[in-house]
Amino acid sequence: MWKWLHPYAKPERAYHLCHRLQPYLWWPGVLALLTGCIWGLAFAPQDYQQGDSFRIIYIHVPSAILSMSTYVAMAGAALVGIVWQWRTAFMAMIAMAPVGAVVTFIALFTGAAWGKPMWGTWWVWDARLTSELILMFLYLGVIALYGAFEDKQQAGKAAGVMALVGVVNIPVIHYSVEWWNTLHQGATISKFDKPSIAPEMLWPLLIALLGLALFIAAVSVMRMKNEIIRREYHRPWVKALAASSVGD
């Protein structure tokens, strides 16, 4: 069933796959992100309570949702790396970690900037905000642990275990607003119910979400290519690749 995946355990095949995927992720991602943000920030109607301030939702919500999705993807790569001992899986994991950390930071920062005018405070130690902050520390922990080892296979294993352990934080973030009483409001779109947002406000949000997802994938794929080249620079196929690109 998963046989088709096996060739990509080889760095060379993984590199070429990334290279082929990159334009299909990058351009639609940039386009959707721009469309969603411009539509949301300039053309969507004002909110009845929050006026124009609510527009930061078009950056805050996509980055918050995808900070969690990126973490799950990273942990998935870590699982493959640990169980099947794929070197490329650890490379994918470490390619995604800084991207996820930046997205988490954007979610926290835009949340603070939204909280100040609406709630009246930049930060409050409620369950949602605290668990999202822990998510950022998990990302930073994975990056730091990976960087601490000289042997990158060992580094991948250690950081991979940490990434897997951290998955337990993901449901806590998602359900924090239901399990405990918090200053943060409940979920608007990531629930099984009908979204609690008017359709003309929802569409740009979904487009921005799709755009950011593709953008994160594109940046991860680029970082993955770099990681493969960095680890494999002494291999003949990388030398051949370098020689052919000098000719261009």
Is residue 120 involved in binding another protein (CB under 8 A)? yes
Is residue 52 involved in binding another protein (CB under 8 A)? yes
- Nearest Cα neighbor of 68 from 194, 149, 176 is 176
Report in angstroms how near the CB of residue 4 gets to another protein at its nearest: 16
Nearest to another protein of 44, 216 (CB atom): 44
Binding residues among 129-168 for another protein as defined by CB under 8 A: 161, 164-165, 167-168
Secondary structure in 3-state letters for 32-60: HHHHHHHHHHHHCCCECCCEHHHHHHHHH
DSSP string, 72-127: HHHHHHHHHHHHH--HHHHHHHHHHHHHHHHHHHHHHHHHHHHHHHHTS-S----H
Q: Which stretch binds another protein (CB under 8 A): 144-152, 197-205, 221-229, 233-241?
A: 197-205
The residues near 49 (Cβ < 8 Å, ≥ 6 apart) are: none
Q: Which stretch binds another protein (CB under 8 A): 25-33, 105-113, 176-184, 238-246?
A: 176-184
Q: Using CB under 8 A, list all residues that contact another protein.
A: 45-54, 57, 79, 82-84, 117-121, 124-127, 161, 164-165, 167-168, 172, 179-183, 185-188, 196-198, 200-201
